[in-house]
Amino acid sequence: MKGYIYAFIDEETFEIYVGSTINTIRVRYQKHLTDLRMFLGLTSKGSRNFRHSFDILYNNRYKIVCLHTLDNVNKQTLNLIESMYIIKFKKQGLKLVNKGISSKEALLFDYRNFGLNEINFAAKTLFPRSELLRPSVLCKLYP
């Protein structure tokens, strides 16, 4: 199946939320918004516990960026790759709202098998401020 690694980036604070999905980014984004509305009690669909993506989505001043697209990937591997992004971004001193990583196995995961050695993890990819995240492996914003 196809998988995506994406980020919500607060355009004012430059805080980042990193996520992954086997759905399209548009579908996953809509699910984040539905979860936020449920958490705030703005829908009759039920209630929802707090999610760290809400830290960025609540202020409504964010961009959505696709960091990576993978073909023929399973959910477990996708979670590991998401974890690699979180680890690398944190090591670069970026402000992530993610409080953990998807799997401790990510520390041992050989991400080079997925072309991730080509991604520029440097913090400078967030600047200039008018341009957010320019990874060398691109995908459409809303596949």
Cis peptide before 135 (omega within 30 of 0): no
- Residue 138 in any domain: the answer is no
- Residue 141 in any domain: the answer is no
CATH code where residue 44 lies: 3.40.1440.10
Which H or E run includes 37? helix 25-39
- Residue 42 in any domain: the answer is yes
Domain span holding position 32: 3-126
pLDDT tens, position by position, for the chain (143 residues)? 899 999 999 999 999 999 999 999 999 999 999 999 999 999 888 888 888 999 999 999 999 999 989 888 888 888 888 888 888 888 788 899 987 665 445 555 555 555 554 444 333 333 333 333 333 333 333 33
- Residue 140 in any domain: the answer is no
- Residue 139 in any domain: the answer is no
pTM over 0.85: no
CA angle 113, 116, 120 (to 5 degrees): 160
- Residue 36 in any domain: the answer is yes
**Measured between alpha carbons, how far is 8 from 94 in angstroms, rounded to an integer?**
13
Domain count, the chain: 1
- Residue 132 in any domain: the answer is no
**Measured between alpha carbons, how far is 117 from 126 in angstroms, rounded to an integer?**
18
- Residue 137 in any domain: the answer is no
